[in-house]
């Protein structure tokens, strides 16, 4: 039985993409191990539930916080030291790998202790990229990298962005394969000169199993058009601040449901007096997908806050798509390409007040058509499910074993 080791610098509860790959490997008969992190936040209970479900997986969980104080302190000191070394021009692969994230140091430490020799190592998230490459070399194994986001384009810290760019340049050319979560991300990474012409490079869209989404429910509430938005956290910088004042103008015709972990200050500032808004605490992936089919319009309101936000296609837009919802998306590069490809499934709008108000008004005018075509959208989306996307991974896994 071939053995795949998955490395992530987060955990499966907040990384659905990694979880899908783990489940795929199990379904295909691989022996599976996972290195992930215990985080003292909303993912804690959900990670435990996942562990209970994935009984055939060997998990190695590292504490993300200070519960193992010496290991935490050592990782912080090494991370800071490597960032100083980088600034002084010492830019070896080890220095870059350790400078990206202290979790790289923690993963490295664990891998030195466990006695396994996987056939393939798959890394998710930058903190796992260097440990995967190093462990693969030590064990004479192959390794693959999944680039879910354009990491050099995340956030506002130019130093961290530069270190992430250098990490991709150092590690990706050595990988047996590299998968990407969107076409724009893949082409932007290629522009860095990372492409290895002899290893597969391909997009694996963030779709889910078709069975996750039941037959769409008919909206019998003729009074309202039901909007839905979900994320890990209900908070600022996600576009809600711009959308809510516009929806106020239509509150006698719309209802909005927000699903996620609610930031209290956001509630106090933006939600407390908006009676047309319903808030639901974070759900498991399974419960979320079952619930989505009840709604009409999915909000994919990415504000384009950084380069990655412009290039990435979120789990959110694919989940709306597979649930048969009509999608109101903002015009990031990735989302514009998506709606252009699936033009019957949504519309593009900016977050500018006049444009957004016009778009929502148009959706209300087309309400009957949107609802009448919901089942057709759901049926069409089934041909773009995880069973199709996962074949790309299986092909590469078999080639590298």
How many domains does the chain contain in total? 2
pLDDT in tens, 367-379: 999 999 999 999 9
What region does 324 belong to: left with phi over 0, alpha with psi -120 to 50, or beta?
left
Residues 59 and 151 in one domain: yes
pLDDT at 401 over 70: no
What's the whole-number average pLDDT of the chain? 94
**Whether pTM exceeds 0.95:** no
pLDDT in tens, 227-258: 999 998 999 988 999 999 999 999 999 999 99
Residues 232 and 373 in one domain: yes
Kindly state the average pLDDT of the residues 337-363. Answer: 96
Residues 365 and 304 in one domain: yes
Predicted pLDDT at 359: 97
pLDDT at 81 over 80: yes
Residues 26 and 165 in one domain: yes
pLDDT at 57 over 90: yes
Residues 132 and 237 in one domain: no
196 or 361, higher pLDDT: 361
Tell me the β-bridge partners of 328: 299, 347
What region does 140 belong to: left with phi over 0, alpha with psi -120 to 50, or beta?
left
Reading the block at residue 277, the tokens are 């808004």
Residue range(s) defining the domain that contains residue 63: 3-207+386-400
Tell me the β-bridge partners of 59: 34
% of the chain exceeding 90 in pLDDT? 89
Residues 245 and 392 in one domain: no
% of the chain exceeding 70 in pLDDT? 99
Predicted pLDDT at 73: 95
CATH code of the domain in which 322 resides: 3.40.50.2000
Predicted pLDDT at 88: 96
Residues 120 and 223 in one domain: no
Per-residue pLDDT band at 194 (split at 50, 70, 90): confident
Residues 165 and 179 in one domain: yes
Residues 230 and 312 in one domain: yes
Kindly state the average pLDDT of the residues 181-186. Answer: 96
Between strands 297-300 and 254-262, the pairing is: unpaired
Residues 153 and 16 in one domain: yes
What region does 255 belong to: left with phi over 0, alpha with psi -120 to 50, or beta?
beta
Residues 239 and 378 in one domain: yes
Residues 320 and 393 in one domain: no
């Amino acid at each position: 039985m071939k053995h795949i080791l998955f490395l992530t610098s987060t955990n499966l509860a907040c990384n659905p993409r990694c979880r899908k790959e783990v489940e795929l490997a199990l379904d295909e008969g691989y022996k599976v191990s996972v290195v992930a992190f215990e985080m003292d936040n909303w993912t804690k209970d959900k990670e435990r539930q996942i562990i209970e479900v994935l009984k055939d997986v060997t998990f190695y969980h590292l504490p993300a916080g200070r519960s193992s104080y010496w290991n935490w302190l050592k990782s912080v000191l090494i991370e800071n030291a490597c960032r100083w070394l980088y600034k002084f021009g010492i830019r070896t692969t080890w220095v870059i790998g350790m400078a990206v994230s202290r979790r790289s140091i923690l993963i490295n430490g664990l891998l030195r202790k466990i006695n396994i020799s996987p056939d393939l190592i798959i890394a998710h998230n930058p903190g796992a990229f260097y440990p995967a490459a190093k462990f693969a070399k030590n064990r004479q194994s192959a390794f693959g990298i999944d680039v879910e986001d354009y990491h050099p384009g995340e956030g506002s810290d130019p130093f961290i962005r530069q270190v992430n760019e250098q990490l991709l340049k150092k590690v990706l050319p050595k990988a047996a394969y590299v998968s990407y979560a969107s076409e724009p991300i893949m082409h932007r990474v290629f522009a860095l000169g990372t492409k290895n012409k002899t290893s597969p490079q391909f997009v694996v869209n963030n779709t889910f199993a078709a069975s996750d989404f039941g037959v769409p429910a008919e909206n019998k509430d003729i009074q309202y058009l039901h909007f839905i938005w979900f994320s890990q956290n209900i908070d600022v910088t996600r576009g809600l601040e711009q959308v809510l004042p516009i929806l106020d103008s239509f509150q006698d015709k719309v209802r909005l449901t927000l699903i996620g972990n609610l930031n209290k200050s956001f509630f106090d500032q933006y939600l407390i007096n908006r009676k047309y808004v319903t808030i639901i605490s974070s759900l498991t992936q399974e419960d979320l997908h079952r619930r989505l089919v009840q709604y009409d319009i999915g909000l994919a309101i990415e504000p384009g806050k950084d380069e990655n936000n412009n290039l990435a296609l979120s789990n959110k837009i694919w989940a709306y798509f597979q649930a048969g919802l009509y999608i109101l998306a903002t015009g990031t590069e990735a989302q514009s390409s998506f709606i252009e490809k699936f033009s019957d499934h949504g519309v593009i709008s900016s977050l500018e007040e006049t444009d957004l108000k016009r778009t929502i008004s148009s959706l209300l005018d087309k309400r009957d058509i949107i609802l009448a075509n919901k089942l057709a959208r759901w049926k069409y989306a089934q041909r773009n499910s995880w069973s199709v996307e996962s074949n790309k991974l299986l092909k590469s896994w078999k080639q590298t074993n």
